[in-house]
Chains A and B, each alone.
Chain A
Amino acid sequence: MNGRHVAVVGAGMIRFGKYPDASYPDLAQPAVVDAIRSAGIEPHEIDATFCGHSFGGMLTGQRILKGLGMTGEAIVNVENACSSGAGAFHQAQAAIASGEIETALVIGVDKLTQFAGGTLPLNVEDHEVASGMVMPALYAMRAQRYLHDYGYDADDLARVSVKARANGALNPFAQFRKPVTLEEVRASRPIAEPLNLFQCCPTGDGGAAVVLMSAERARRSGATPVWVRASVLHSGRYMTGFRDFTLPEITVRSAKDAYEQAGIGPDDLDFAEVHDAFTIAELLYYEALQLCERGEAPRLVADGVTALGGRVPVNPSGGLLAKGHPIGATGVGQLAEAYWQLTGRCGDRQVAGARIGLTHVTGGGIAGFDHGACAITILAA
C-alpha cells in the first residue's frame, strides 16, 4: 500500500431482499447509522462520503445523508456497475491514505425492484446489448465453454448454488435463507442454457456501509480496526479479437496486483467473498484468484475446500447467489462481511480464526470487455 495505513472501523447493512416500497434513503440510512454507531463515532466526524450505486439517479448520496444531518462535507457518487460500491471504497481509502482526510463513510446501495422484471437493464448504446446480450447469457457462454474445455457437467455448476444457499441459510443478512438440494437446482427453470434459475443471483434491493479511518485516528478512537492491506481497482482491457472465456483477464490482473500490494499469496487467505453472480463465475474466480490451477475449480467445491469449515471458505455470507446482489450495494456488503468475519462477529457462519480475507467484485455488460470494472480488497485483522 502506498501512503498512510487505513483501517475499517465499523460496518452496517440491511438484509438484502425485495423492498419495492422503499426509497434509496430508506435502504441506505439504517446501514449508515449502524456503521457509524459500530465505529463508536459521531456523524460529524465523517470528513467525506463516497456513495456507490448504479441506478439511484442524481445525488443519491446527498439524498441519503440529508435525513441524517450529515451534509456540508464532500459527498462523491460513484458508478461502476457491480463494482460501484467497492469502487467507492477504493476512492475513500485512497483519500485517507493520501492524507487528504482522516475519516470516511462508504455507502453501497441499489434498488433493482424499481424495474418491472426481466434481466438487469444494460445500456442500449452497446451493440451487443441491442442485439440481445443479457448478463445471464454472457455467463452462460462462459459456462458452456468451461464445461466443454475441461470436461465437466451441469452438476459441477449446480454444486456452487448448493454451497451458497447452505451458507446463506446461516446469514441473517441474506436474501435467501433456505438451503437447496442438487435436485432442486437441476429442476429450476432454464434462464440461459446451461444456467437455470437457482444458478443465478436474485433480483433485490440493499444498502450497506462501512467507516474507514487513518491508522492514527483509528488508534485514538477505540474502535476495533481491520486493516486495508490492498485495494485495487481496474478497468477491463477492450479487445476486438479472440479472448479465452475461461480466463477472466481483469480479475487475473487485479488479483496479482492485490497480492503484491498486501505482500501475501493466495495460500494466506482465510476466506474470500467473490463475485458469484452466476455459478460459473465463482469457479472462474477460484482460478483467477489462484486458489487452484486452471480447470480444477469444480473439485474445490466437490471436495468441500471452499465450504464453511474447508481450507479456504469462499462466500461464507452466501455470496451473490444467496445473500443477494443489489449491484452497487454488493461490494460494500462484502466489505461489511469481511469486517465482521475478521472481528469474530459472524455467528453461525463465522470462519474460525479468520485473520486475512479478500473481497472481489466485477462489473460487466459491455461489448469487447471481460468486465468493465473489477475491485479487489484484502483486509487483515
Chain B
Amino acid sequence: MSFSPQIAIAEPSTVVATGTGTEIARRGVSFDGNSVVLVASACTACDAVAWPPAARCHACWAAVTPRRLATSGTLYAFTTVHTAALGTEVPYVIGYVDLPDGVRVFTPLRGDASRLRIDGPVTLHGAAGAPGAGFWFEAAR
C-alpha cells in the first residue's frame, strides 16, 4: 500500500484578502447598537480559538466558526507608552487581557489609568466609529 496523492488538474486557490492590521482586528469586533462584543474563530475540528478570527484553523487547517467571547476578563500586563512609532500621539495605555475563553487579547486601555491593576478585572467597551479597531478595555467598576 502506498500513499497516493490527489491527482487533479492544478487550479489556483482563492485569495481571501484580510487587509491591514487594523482591518484584521476590526473583523473580530461586532457592534449591536451600543453593545460591543469580540468575535473569535473556533476550529470545528480541534476547537483551537483565535482572536482576531482566522480564515482557517492555524493549528489543523480545518474550517472555523465564529465564537463570541466574554466581555470581561483580567489584565495580564499593561504599560503607558511615552515614545511610540513616528506620528503616533502619546501617551497612550495598552495591555493584554486574558478572557475566560482562553484567549489573550491585545487592547488599548482607557478610563482612569490609576485604577488599572495587574491581574485586576477589566471590561470591554467600544463604539462603531471609534478609532483603530473600535474597542478598548477599562478597569471594571
Interface residues of A, Cβ cutoff 8 Å to B = 115-119, 121-134, 136-137, 140-142, 144-145, 148, 189-194, 238, 240-243, 245, 367
Beta-carbon contact of B81 and A137 below 8 Å: yes
Q: 24 interchain pairs (CB within 8 A)? A: A118-B86, A119-B85, A121-B86, A122-B85, A124-B21, A124-B22, A125-B20, A128-B21, A132-B92, A136-B81, A137-B84, A141-B78, A141-B96, A144-B78, A145-B118, A190-B82, A192-B79, A192-B82, A193-B80, A240-B50, A242-B102, A242-B104, A245-B77, A367-B106
Beta-carbon contact of B80 and A192 below 8 Å: yes
CB contacts under 8 Å to A, within B75-105, are: 76-88, 92, 94-96, 98, 102-104
**B104 interface neighbour in A122, A136, A193, A240, Cβ under 8 Å:** A240
- What's the least CB distance linking A271 to chain B, in Å? 31
A122 CA to B21 CA in the complex, in Å? 11
Question: Is the contact region of chain A dominated by helix, strand, or loop, or is it mixed?
Answer: loop
Interface residues of B, Cβ cutoff 8 Å to A = 20-22, 24-25, 48-52, 58, 76-88, 92, 94-96, 98, 102-104, 106-108, 118, 132-133
Given A134-B81, A190-B82, check contact A129 B21 (CB 8 Å). Answer: yes
- What's the least CB distance linking A351 to chain B, in Å? 34
**A132 interface neighbour in B82, B94, B102, B118, Cβ under 8 Å:** B94
- What's the least CB distance linking A87 to chain B, in Å? 23
Beta-carbon contact of B84 and A119 below 8 Å: yes
Beta-carbon contact of A192 and B83 below 8 Å: yes
- What's the least CB distance linking A119 to chain B, in Å? 6
Beta-carbon contact of B83 and A191 below 8 Å: yes
A134 CA to B87 CA in the complex, in Å? 13
> What residues of A have a CB within 8 angstroms of the CB of B22 in the complex?
124, 127, 130-131
Across the interface, name the chain B residue whose C-beta is closest to A148.
Answer: B118
> What residues of B have a CB within 8 angstroms of the CB of A123 in the complex?
21
Beta-carbon contact of B79 and A141 below 8 Å: yes
A148 CA to B77 CA in the complex, in Å? 10
> What residues of B have a CB within 8 angstroms of the CB of A243 in the complex?
104
Beta-carbon contact of A117 and B82 below 8 Å: no
Beta-carbon contact of A131 and B107 below 8 Å: yes
> What residues of B have a CB within 8 angstroms of the CB of A241 in the complex?
49, 102-104
- What's the least CB distance linking B52 to chain A, in Å? 6
> What residues of A have a CB within 8 angstroms of the CB of B20 in the complex?
124-125, 130
A241 CA to B76 CA in the complex, in Å? 12
> What residues of B have a CB within 8 angstroms of the CB of A122 in the complex?
85
A128 CA to B25 CA in the complex, in Å? 8
**B58 interface neighbour in A130, A145, A191, A238, Cβ under 8 Å:** A238
Across the interface, name the chain B residue whose C-beta is closest to A144.
Answer: B77
Beta-carbon contact of B106 and A127 below 8 Å: yes
A192 CA to B78 CA in the complex, in Å? 10
Beta-carbon contact of B77 and A142 below 8 Å: yes
Beta-carbon contact of A191 and B96 below 8 Å: no
Given A131-B108, A148-B118, check contact A118 B103 (CB 8 Å). Answer: no
Beta-carbon contact of B132 and A130 below 8 Å: yes
> What residues of A have a CB within 8 angstroms of the CB of B104 in the complex?
240-243
> What residues of B have a CB within 8 angstroms of the CB of A116 in the complex?
86
Beta-carbon contact of B48 and A240 below 8 Å: yes
